[in-house]
């Protein structure tokens, strides 16, 4: 069928709104009519080549919409269901079966290869040129084909313009803390970078009972929001020695946990150095930058750990309803962080996200949707 999508044709290119052909759904696929999609920093990282995918491509991996068609092998999704889309996983490898679908053995084939695992394409240009899909959802489009494991059915009362954006950035921030770091009640944590991921990590630290929650950023406006959402201390890292300031807040010892969302080499170093003995750091940014450490002096002697956490180690079908519940209880007010744009304004929305003026842009794809 003919659809409309924001197409990206090359690294550093602008998005262009194009007509594309969407393939016929297979037995194990679901066709979703998109209502809205968040823009995640990882879309931008892919646009600028910090993470790779064959171009042309339709990006977007925080979609929400309404199910239009289900293949005969799809068991738990019905036409008319309202769904949030998250990442794809196979459901039957050892990691999926032990409750770690973010570590699915088929992750790259399903999420970042640009095609179905067999190499066929979900989207084609009108001249037949194959177009990559992304996270098996490509939510910057009016319609898409996805898989049952990408989908989280939500109550029809949930506002689909808002909840799609829970599918990646906010999920990552929440899960990095709740599933990755598992902080003990009363502990201390420093979050480097208070964008969507960092602020979600901060709210999760509060929910988890951390007593000292230090937000670090270079923009005062971001720090002000962090304060409203529960940071106990703010550090503007553009002024003074950040490690020293964090140690001063934590009796000279440093924090128990740190999360880096900036992906900047020097900031990642600071996130490691500002922890106390036995501290655990989760660097979660999608970055092409490295961290140069002396393993003996910076890890072994102080028994510190650095852990990789993908998609917050979250099972989306469990964590997204949980996030919606936290939101309804007033404990996860992510709606304060979003700004709505039309699909046609995607280039402006990406710029506003990259320059920090919008924390979480959401593209409205179906302007007729009413909650």
Nearest residue to ligand NAD on Cβ basis: 195
Q: Helices (DSSP H) in the chain: which residue ranges?
A: 41-47, 94-97, 107, 160-163, 169-175, 196-207, 220-228, 242-249, 265-273, 295, 316-328, 346-354
Residue 90 interface partner, choices ligand NAD, Zn ion, none, CB cut-off 5-8 Å depending on type: Zn ion
Q: How far is the CB of 289 from ligand NAD (least distance, A)?
A: 10
Residue 325 CA to residue 101 CA, distance in Å, equals 22
* Region 172-211 residues binding ligand NAD, contact defined as CB under 6 A: 172, 192-198
CB-facing half-sphere around the CA of 82: CA atoms within 13 A: 17
Residue with tokens 């040129």, as numbered in its chain: 129
State which residue, 3 or 104, has the beta carbon closest to ligand NAD: 104
Residue 307 CA to residue 207 CA, distance in Å, equals 21
226 lies in the site for ligand NAD, by CB under 6 A: no
Strand partners, 84: 64, 152
315 lies in the site for Zn ion, by CB under 5 A: no
Residue with tokens 């036409």, as numbered in its chain: 79
Residue 96 interface partner, choices Zn ion, ligand NAD, none, CB cut-off 5-8 Å depending on type: Zn ion
State which residue, 4 or 219, has the beta carbon closest to ligand NAD: 219
* Region 5-44 residues binding Zn ion, contact defined as CB under 5 A: 40, 42
Q: Which stretch binds ligand NAD (CB under 6 A): 29-37, 136-144, 245-253, 259-267?
A: 259-267
Give backbone dihedrals phi and psi of 158, rounded to 5 degrees, phi first: -70, 140
Question: Site mask, Zn ion, residues 72-101, x = CB under 5 A?
Answer: -----------------xx--x--x-----
Residue 1 CA to residue 132 CA, distance in Å, equals 17
Q: Which of 17, 23, 45, 93 binds ligand NAD (CB under 6 A)?
A: 45
Q: Which of 133, 149, 245, 262 binds ligand NAD (CB under 6 A)?
A: 262
State which residue, 140 or 192, has the beta carbon closest to ligand NAD: 192
Q: Quote the DSSP letter at residue 23.
A: P
Residue 104 interface partner, choices ligand NAD, Zn ion, none, CB cut-off 5-8 Å depending on type: Zn ion
User: Phi-psi region for residue 356, left (φ > 0), alpha (ψ -120 to 50) or beta?
Assistant: left
Q: How far is the CB of 341 from ligand NAD (least distance, A)?
A: 15
139 lies in the site for ligand NAD, by CB under 6 A: no
Dihedral over alpha carbons 16, 286, 189, 256 (to 10 degrees): 170
Task: Quote the radius of gyration of the chain (alpha carbons, Å).
Answer: 20
100 lies in the site for ligand NAD, by CB under 6 A: no
Binding interface with ligand NAD (CB under 6 A): 40-42, 45, 168-169, 172, 192-198, 216-219, 222, 237, 261-264, 267, 284-287, 310-311, 356, 359
């Amino acid at each position: 069928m003919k659809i409309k999508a924001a197409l990206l044709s090359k690294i550093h290119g602008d998005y262009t709104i194009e007509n594309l052909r969407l393939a016929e759904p297979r037995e194990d696929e679901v066709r979703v009519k998109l209502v809205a999609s968040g823009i995640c920093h990882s879309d931008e990282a892919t646009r600028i080549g910090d993470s790779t995918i064959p171009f042309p491509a339709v990006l977007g991996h925080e979609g929400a919409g309404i199910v239009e068609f289900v293949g005969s092998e799809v068991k738990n999704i019905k036409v008319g269901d309202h769904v949030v889309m998250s990442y794809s996983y196979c459901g039957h490898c050892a990691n999926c079966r032990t409750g770690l679908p973010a570590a699915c053995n088929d992750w790259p084939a399903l999420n970042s290869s640009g095609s179905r695992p067999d190499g066929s394409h979900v989207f084609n240009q009108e001249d037949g040129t194959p177009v990559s899909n992304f996270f098996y959802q490509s939510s910057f489009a009016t319609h898409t084909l996805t898989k049952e494991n990408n989908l989280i059915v939500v109550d029809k009362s949930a506002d689909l313009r808002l909840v799609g954006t829970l599918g990646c950035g906010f999920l990552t921030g929440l899960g990095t803390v709740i599933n990755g770091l598992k902080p003990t009640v009363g502990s201390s944590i420093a979050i480097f970078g208070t964008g969507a991921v960092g602020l979600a990590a901060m709210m999760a630290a509060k929910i988890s009972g951390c007593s000292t929650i230090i937000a670090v950023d270079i923009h005062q406006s971001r720090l002000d929001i962090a304060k409203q959402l529960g940071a106990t201390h703010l550090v503007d890292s553009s002024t003074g020695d950040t490690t020293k300031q964090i140690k001063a807040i934590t009796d000279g010892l440093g924090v128990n946990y740190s999360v880096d969302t900036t992906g900047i080499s020097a900031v990642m170093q600071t996130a490691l150095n500002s922890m106390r003995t036995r501290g655990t750091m989760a660097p979660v940014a999608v970055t092409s930058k490295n961290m140069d450490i002396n393993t003996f002096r910076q890890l072994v002697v102080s028994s510190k750990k650095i852990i990789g956490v993908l998609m917050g180690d979250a099972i989306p079908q469990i964590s997204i309803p949980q996030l919606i519940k936290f939101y309804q209880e007033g404990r996860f007010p992510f709606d304060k962080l979003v700004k709505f744009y039309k699909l046609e304004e995607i280039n402006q929305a990406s710029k506003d996200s990259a320059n920090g003026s919008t924390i979480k842009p959401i593209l409205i794809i179906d302007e007729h949707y009413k909650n």
